[in-house]
């Protein structure tokens, strides 16, 4: 209060006097913080003060001694303390240590200050996660450890020490302030066992937190080993027996065994053996004698493979000849008799030699091919009389057996004899001349020469009496070796038979020039190559093979008599290609011709990329599609999620859609960018915006997420500070109830009203989603502050200079008011 003159009049007295009243100065009488202070705390200051009987309005400025911005508070007119909850620090202490807190109380005219010294205590860090790259490894494999921790001391630095539990030196690393995660270098365990890995986080004040994880180190799987392997030989065509035993240190391994018998037969399918089974047996029939190397391959379930081999020599079994049959059963001299018979031999691959002793001092031999078990032979006797015919079959190992038959040869007319047959060689489509000659003791006989040409054709030539030769001709339309059979029969029915072989040699097809239609093409356009060829073999069939010059080929069969062809092909890429056309007949004769095809580039880039994201909390799924007329193109699709993560997919040729999913770790508005690139490097891109809300477990956690989300928006400083302060105010109110969260007039409602005017639609959607989560966590029921009507007044964030100006204005107004009072 200023000086004031008061006139006092007394009865019967004249005169005046003045009394001066001075404004009182406030005095802080008590002040304290109400308890210990730790890193991360926002303590409250409690105080009482006196100021006479003045009913002034007061302001309090507190310098918290940590270098942060001073807090300024307004007290109600007539107040004499800082309220039941005190005046709370706006930002937490980020580091431990001694601080000097200065309190300045101002009534507009006078100010008084007090200070208090205290120590901000260190907060102990806490491990939030600790894990190993693998819980089970083999000796010699690498393991890394990752972890995360929290510490209210945001300015603290930390040291992380990881003890691997195997007696080796621990891994140590230093982390800067604000780094709450770590990943170690790789560690290799030299010995097997179960080890406990301990991670210790120590802040710069010596407080620690620990976490452990367990790793099981195993010895590598061992390969099996063969203990014994043998093959017991049987006779050819009968069973030989294989026996294998083996060992494996890994008793849980299963095994597979395959056998190659060494005789060219198809190897047996692999046999699967259960764990613990260490023996295997198999049988095989060798078709022929010989020495064979049998190879067994043993594999375990860990992909180890060993082999073993053993030699086996099946024994030979002699053929057994059955009884002989004669046709006819009775003959006359110079008449042909046919001896036929059969034999058995278990050696399915054996070849044989048949020897016939005709009983008249002559013998003949013939070869019998593998698989054949019957034979026949003919003979004509020059003189009558009884004979014994003996047939002997010997295998190629010279084992043999015999059988005999008796025949009585009667006297008769003499058959023609001394048949000689010869033929000239030829090319397919040409003719051969068959020279036939014979003798006959009966010069008056006429004869008929019957010819079977071996290609299905037959001829008959009639010879007059005394004629003993003929030279007919025949045309062979196809290559091959033909057996020509000739039978000469005299007029009395006696005959002599013989023959020869004739070979028609193949003539390769010959190509003329090739034609290309159209003469100029682009990639993916069809080109047709056509041509003709010649070949005298009228019965030949053909295969035309087009080698297109780009690594691809296409065969085309042609029927007999066809002498033209065409084939079509589309090239994927441009270039000059040498097309080679080969015509091959069924006898493997071939002709080749080539031609060049020039392919120009024609490529269409991918386009019309569209991405469709769907959001479910923190989970976002993107479905995308695009267009590319080049159906043979492959593509690489890349998605960047806006939070530093990237997904890449390789799409097969023809695929024009893809999808991917991502889980965000923090709420926010994100831009998803997609790019599809083809092998040529051409690409198409598209983007989409999503607002992601990550659920939290408590109201305070959700409010922290809202603070982080607001910071991620990169707003101007005034708007960001205003919104963040409203979050802090709301969090501070939680200690007294949920009104400021749930009420339509609470600080959360005011924050959203302001945010709706200053944020984008996506930003506001993400922030209001978190506000709903905060209300749910606070138990507000179904009411939502987002539906509150917007206030009509405009909220303007105040800058530092504005704040100073406001304080000066308050002081000026107070002085002006005091001046008015004094007047």
Rg (CA), the chain: 55
Give the lowest-confidence range in 371-375, 481-485, 777-781: 777-781
First to last CA, the chain: 11
SS3 state at 742: helix
The answer to whether the predicted template modeling score (pTM) of the entire model surpasses 0.85 is no
The pLDDT value given to residue 761: 87
On the question of pLDDT at 437 being above 50, the answer is yes
**Does the pLDDT of residue 12 top 50, yes or no?**
no
CB 147 within 8 A of CB 130: yes
Q: Phi first, then psi: what are they for 187, rounded to 5°?
A: -120, 140
Question: Would the pLDDT of 497 be above 90?
Answer: yes
Measured in degrees and rounded to the nearest 5, phi and psi for residue 184 equal -85, 165
Burial of 513 (0-12, 13-18, 19+ CB in 10 A): exposed
Residue 822 pLDDT: 37
How confident is the model at residue 692, as a pLDDT? Answer: 85
pLDDT of residue 430: 86
Q: Which of 20-34, 93-107, 177-191, 412-426 has the lowest mean pLDDT?
A: 20-34
Of 566-580, 596-610, 660-674, 800-814, give the lowest mean pLDDT range: 800-814
**pLDDT category of residue 619 using cuts at 50, 70 and 90:** confident
pLDDT for 192 equals 87
Q: Under 8 Å CB-to-CB from 804, ≥6 apart: which residues?
A: none
How many residues are recorded in the chain?
Answer: 823
Which residues fall within 8 angstroms of residue 140, CB to CB, at 6 or more apart?
188, 189, 190, 220
For 641-650, write each residue's pLDDT tens digit: 998 889 999 9
Tens of pLDDT, residue by residue over 698-757, are 888 889 889 998 998 889 999 999 999 999 999 989 888 889 999 999 999 999 999 999
pLDDT of residue 20: 46
Assess whether pLDDT exceeds 70 at residue 817.
no
Residue range 549-563, pLDDT digits in tens: 999 999 999 998 899
Query: From the CB of residue 782, how many other CB atoms can be counted at a distance below 10 Å?
Result: 6
Within a 10 A sphere around the Cβ of 105, how many other Cβ atoms? 23
The residue-averaged pLDDT of 140-165 equals 93
pLDDT tier at 341 (50, 70, 90 boundaries)?
very high
Rounded CA separation 589/504 (Å): 13
Q: 203-232: per-residue pLDDT in tens?
A: 999 999 999 999 999 888 888 999 899 999
Task: Give per-residue burial for 176-197: e unless 16+ CB within 10 Å, then b.
Answer: ebeebebebeebebeeeeebeb
Query: How far is Cα 103 from Cα 116, in angstroms, rounded to an integer?
Result: 8
pLDDT cut 70: percent of the chain above it:
91
Instruction: Determine the Cα–Cα distance for residues 258 and 306; give it in Å rounded to an integer.
Output: 11
Confidence of residue 603 (pLDDT cuts 50, 70, 90): low
d(CA 257, CA 267): 11
- Indicate the range of 38-52, 506-520, 591-605 predicted with least confidence: 591-605
pLDDT at 422: 92
Which residues, in sequence order, are CB contacts of 737 under 8 Å at separation 6+? none
Stretch 156-161: mean pLDDT:
95
**Contact present, 337 and 379 (Cβ < 8 Å):** yes
Handedness of CA 698, 702, 707, 708 (dihedral sign): positive
pLDDT digits (tens, 9 = 90+) for 301-325: 889 999 999 999 898 888 989 999 9
Mean per-residue pLDDT over the chain, rounded: 86
| Residue carrying the six token digits 């004499």 | 80
Q: Would you state the pLDDT for residue 798?
A: 30
C-alpha 86/C-alpha 37 separation (Å) is 15
CB 613 within 8 A of CB 641: no
| Mean per-residue pLDDT, 343-350 | 85
Of 369, 396, 374, the C-alpha closest to 289 is 396
Q: Does residue 149 carry a pLDDT above 80?
A: yes
Alpha carbon 582 to its chain's center: 40
Asked if residues 569 and 548 have their Cβ atoms less than 8 Å apart, the reply is yes
pLDDT of residue 102: 96
Of residues 523 and 61, more confidence is placed in 61
The answer, yes or no, to whether residue 464 has pLDDT greater than 80, is yes
Percent of the chain's residues with pLDDT above 90: 59
| pLDDT at residue 380 is higher than 50 | yes
Q: How confident is the model at residue 399 (pLDDT cuts 50, 70, 90)?
A: confident
- Could you tell me whether strands 590-600 and 521-522 are parallel, antiparallel, or unpaired per DSSP bridges? parallel
Per the listing, tokens 């009509």 go with: 792
Crossing angle between the packed helical segments 699-712 and 717-733, to the nearest 10 degrees: 180
Give the model's confidence band at 804: pLDDT under 50 very low, under 70 low, under 90 confident, else very high. very low
The pLDDT tens digits for 355-371 are 999 999 999 999 999 88
Give residue 110's Cα distance to chain centre.
78
pLDDT at residue 442 in the model:
78
- pLDDT category at 795 given cuts 50, 70, 90 is very low
Predicted local distance difference test score (pLDDT) of residue 784: 42
When pLDDT is cut at 50, 70 and 90, the band that residue 781 belongs to is low
DSSP code of residue 813: H
Banded pLDDT at 537 (limits 50, 70, 90): confident
Residue pair 445/475 in contact (Cβ under 8 Å)? The answer is no
Q: What would the mean pLDDT of 687-695 be, rounded to a whole number?
A: 85
Q: What is the pLDDT of residue 287?
A: 83
3-class DSSP state for residue 520?
coil
Q: Which of 650, 646, 647, 659 is nearest to 679 (CA)?
A: 650
pLDDT at residue 697 in the model: 63
Average pLDDT value for residue range 14-21: 43
CA distances from 234 to 11, 288, 319, 395, 731 (A): 160, 11, 16, 18, 93
Q: Which residues contact 625 (CB under 8 A, 6 or more apart)?
A: 608, 609, 610, 656, 657
């Amino acid at each position: 209060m200023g000086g004031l003159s008061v006139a006092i009049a007394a009865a019967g007295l004249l005169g005046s006097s003045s009394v001066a009243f001075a404004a009182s100065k406030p005095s802080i009488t008590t002040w304290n913080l109400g308890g210990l202070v730790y890193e991360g705390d926002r303590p409250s200051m409690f105080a009482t003060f006196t100021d006479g009987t003045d009913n002034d309005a007061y302001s309090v400025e507190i310098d918290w001694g940590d270098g942060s911005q001073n807090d300024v508070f307004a007290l109600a007119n007539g107040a004499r303390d800082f309220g039941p909850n005190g005046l709370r620090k706006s930002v937490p202490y980020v580091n431990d240590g001694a601080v000097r807190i200065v309190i300045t109380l101002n009534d507009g005219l006078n100010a008084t200050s007090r200070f208090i010294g205290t120590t901000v205590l260190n907060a102990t860090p806490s491990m939030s996660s600790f894990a190993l790259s693998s819980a089970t490894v083999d000796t010699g494999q690498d393991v890394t450890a990752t972890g995360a921790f929290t510490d209210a001391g945001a300015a603290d630095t930390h040291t992380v020490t990881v003890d691997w539990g195997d007696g080796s030196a621990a891994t140590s690393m230093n982390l800067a302030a604000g780094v709450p995660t770590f990943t170690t270098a790789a560690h290799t365990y030299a010995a097997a066992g179960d080890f406990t890995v301990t991670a210790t986080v120590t802040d710069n004040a010596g407080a620690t937190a620990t976490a452990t994880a367990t790793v099981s180190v195993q010895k590598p799987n061992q390969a099996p080993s063969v203990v014994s392997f043998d093959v017991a030989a049987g006779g050819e065509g009968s069973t030989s027996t294989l026996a294998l035993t083996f060992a494996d240190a890994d008793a849980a391994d299963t095994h597979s065994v395959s056998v190659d018998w060494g005789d060219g037969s198809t190897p047996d399918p692999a046999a699967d053996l259960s764990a613990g089974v260490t023996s295997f047996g198999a049988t095989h029939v060798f078709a022929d004698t010989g020495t064979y190397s049998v190879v067994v391959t043993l594999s375990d379930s860990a992909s180890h493979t060993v082999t073993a081999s053993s030699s086996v020599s099946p024994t030979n079994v002699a053929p057994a000849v059955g009884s002989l049959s004669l046709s006819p059963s009775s003959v006359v001299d110079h008449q042909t008799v046919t001896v036929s018979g059969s034999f058995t031999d278990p050696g399915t691959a054996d070849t044989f030699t048949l020897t016939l002793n005709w009983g008249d001092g002559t013998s003949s031999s013939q070869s019998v091919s593998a698989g054949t078990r019957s034979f026949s032979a003919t003979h004509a006797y020059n003189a009558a009389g009884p004979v014994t015919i003996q047939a002997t079959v010997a295998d190629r190992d010279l084992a043999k057996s015999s059988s005999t038959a008796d025949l009585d040869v009667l006297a008769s007319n003499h058959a023609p004899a001394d048949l000689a047959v010869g033929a000239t060689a030829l090319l397919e489509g040409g003719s051969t001349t068959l020279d036939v000659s014979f003798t006959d003791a009966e010069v008056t006989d006429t004869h008929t020469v019957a010819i079977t040409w071996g290609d299905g054709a037959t001829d008959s030539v009639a010879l007059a009496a005394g004629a003993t030769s003929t030279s007919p001709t025949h045309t062979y339309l196809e290559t091959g070796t033909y057996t020509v059979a000739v039978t000469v029969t005299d007029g009395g029915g006696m005959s002599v038979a013989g023959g020869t072989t004739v070979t028609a040699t193949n003539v390769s097809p010959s190509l003329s020039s090739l034609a290309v239609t159209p003469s100029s093409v682009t990639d993916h356009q069809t080109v047709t190559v056509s041509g003709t060829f010649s070949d005298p073999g009228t019965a030949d069939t053909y295969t035309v093979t087009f080698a297109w010059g780009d690594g691809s080929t296409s065969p085309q069969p042609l029927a007999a008599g066809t002498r033209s062809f065409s084939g079509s092909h589309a090239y994927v890429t441009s270039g000059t290609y040498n097309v080679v056309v080969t015509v091959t007949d069924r006898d493997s004769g071939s002709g080749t011709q080539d031609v060049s095809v020039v392919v120009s580039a024609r490529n269409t880039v991918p386009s019309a990329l569209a991405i469709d994201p769907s959001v479910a909390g923190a989970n976002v799924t993107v479905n995308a599609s695009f267009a590319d007329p080049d159906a043979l193109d492959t593509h690489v699709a890349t998605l960047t999620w806006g939070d530093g993560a990237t997904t890449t997919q390789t799409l097969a040729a023809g695929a024009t859609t893809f999808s991917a999913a991502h889980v965000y770790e923090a709420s926010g508005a994100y831009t998803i960018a997609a790019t599809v690139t083809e092998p040529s490097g051409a690409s198409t891109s598209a983007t989409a915006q999503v607002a992601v809300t990550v659920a939290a477990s408590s109201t305070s956690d959700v409010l922290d997420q809202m603070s982080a989300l607001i910071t991620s928006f990169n707003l101007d400083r005034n708007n960001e500070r205003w919104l963040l302060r409203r979050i802090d105010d709301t969090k501070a109110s939680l200690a007294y109830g949920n009104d400021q969260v749930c009420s339509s007039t609470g600080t959360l409602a005011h924050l959203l009203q302001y945010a709706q005017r200053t944020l984008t639609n996506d930003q506001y959607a993400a922030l209001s989603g978190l506000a709903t989560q905060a209300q749910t966590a606070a138990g507000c029921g179904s009411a939502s502050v987002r539906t509150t009507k917007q206030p009509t007044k405009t909220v303007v964030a105040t800058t530092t200079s504005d704040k100073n100006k406001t304080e000066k204005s308050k002081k000026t107004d107070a002085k002006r008011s005091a001046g008015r009072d004094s007047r």
